[in-house]
């Protein structure tokens, strides 16, 4: 959004943010209240599939914003430029303040705030790809008593005609803000590697300034043993075959307070450095325990056909 009419960042935590009601039963032309704070959604065009964006995902929309009297105050359609933003954003409270009030470890809990008004966060995460809806947003979920001069008066109820064009999934895979995973290319099927499996990956790791500190066009390792930094093993366990992702890795899952000296495998990583890692899970070999004592392991080199297996006493041909 431009500077004059952009939706400003939320100043504080979304303390009164309610989870939206399921609007999947909404039919074209119908209107329904979402949550219990007065947010309404009218379906204009149905979307595709069943999936909806989650907090942390990077969404792309077209929108037109109007007052209840029809006065238009902003439109990405008029500019011909879709609006991109993060649906919710993770941050941690100060450790002492957090722990003293909740008696928990601060680094284990993250809260969601918005880059946009609350009505957008609550409404857009009910939408499917390609869906078009009109949201009527009360002032409590918009600009409140202050408004947004000169175009939005105080205590104004707003209407936004929104089309959800697309979104990129971003997941906090360790639930502590240490590794964020953005899916660049979806993988195949549904299986994920396990601790004993041998994965084959490609990756490139950079510092925030773009300096490459590690790269491989193909390396194999056992998941539980890891490779390069702890983030790789954590990430591959959430990936499917052929999946490509971009990881944002905080120091605790990178090289921590000590960093890493330069070597033949890559450049130096300074202490407490955040890394950006592009990672592709090319394939993996499934390894499983055959015996309860874990003395016999089976590695699958080539997948078989069907689901049947020989029972005890069966005659097999190799």
* Active-site annotation holds for 203: no
* Active-site annotation holds for 228: no
Asked whether the CA dihedral 266, 267, 273, 274 is positive or negative, the reply is negative
Domains and CATH numbers, the chain: 31-168 (3.10.50.40), 172-291 (3.10.50.40)
* Active-site annotation holds for 124: no
* Active-site annotation holds for 307: no
Q: b/e per residue, 6-34, with b = 16+ CB within 10 A? A: ebeebeeebeebeebbebeebeeeeebeb
User: Given 57, 63, 173, 203, which residue is catalytic?
Assistant: 63
* Active-site annotation holds for 110: no
User: Given 83, 85, 98, 143, which residue is catalytic?
Assistant: 143
Q: What is the pLDDT along the chain (318 residues), one digit of tens a residue?
A: 443 444 444 434 343 444 444 455 899 999 999 999 999 999 999 999 999 998 889 999 999 999 999 999 999 999 999 999 999 744 444 433 433 333 333 333 344 556 899 999 999 999 999 999 999 999 999 999 999 999 999 999 999 999 999 999 889 999 999 999 999 999 998 999 999 999 999 999 999 999 999 999 999 999 999 999 999 999 999 999 999 999 999 999 999 999 999 988 789 999 999 999 999 999 999 987 766 665 556 666 656 565 566 666 666 565
User: Given 117, 124, 152, 179, which residue is catalytic?
Assistant: 117
* Active-site annotation holds for 253: no
Residue 63: strand pairing partners: 162
User: Given 83, 85, 98, 160, which residue is catalytic?
Assistant: 160
């Amino acid at each position: 959004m431009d500077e004059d009419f952009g939706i400003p960042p939320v100043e504080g935590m979304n303390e009164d943010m309610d989870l939206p009601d399921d609007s999947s039963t909404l039919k074209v032309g119908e209107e329904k209240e979402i949550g219990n704070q007065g947010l309404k959604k009218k379906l204009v065009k149905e979307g595709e599939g069943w999936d909806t964006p989650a907090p942390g995902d990077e969404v792309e929309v077209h929108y037109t914003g109007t007052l209840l009297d029809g006065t238009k105050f902003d439109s990405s359609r008029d500019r011909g430029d879709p609006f991109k933003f993060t649906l919710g954003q993770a941050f941690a409270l100060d450790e002492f303040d957090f722990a003293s009030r909740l008696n928990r470890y601060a680094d284990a809990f993250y809260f969601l705030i918005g880059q946009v008004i609350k009505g957008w966060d609550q409404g857009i995460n009910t939408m499917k790809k390609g869906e078009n809806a009109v949201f009527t947003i009360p002032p409590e979920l918009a600009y409140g008593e202050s408004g947004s001069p000169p175009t939005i008066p105080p205590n104004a109820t707003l209407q936004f005609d929104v089309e959800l064009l697309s979104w990129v999934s971003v997941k906090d895979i360790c639930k502590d803000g240490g590794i964020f995973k953005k899916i660049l290319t979806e993988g195949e099927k549904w299986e994920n590697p396990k601790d004993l499996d041998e994965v084959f990956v490609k990756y490139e790791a950079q510092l925030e300034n773009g300096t490459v500190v590690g790269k491989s066009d193909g390396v194999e390792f056992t998941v539980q043993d890891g490779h390069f930094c702890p983030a790789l093993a954590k990430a591959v366990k959430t990936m499917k075959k052929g999946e490509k992702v971009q990881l944002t890795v905080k120091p605790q899952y990178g090289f921590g307070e000590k960093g890493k000296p330069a070597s033949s495998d890559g450049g130096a990583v300074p202490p407490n450095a955040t890394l950006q890692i592009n990672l592709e899970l090319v394939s993996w070999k499934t390894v499983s325990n055959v015996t309860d004592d874990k003395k016999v392991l089976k590695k699958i080199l080539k997948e078989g056909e069907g689901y049947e297996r020989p029972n005890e006493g069966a005659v097999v041909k190799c």
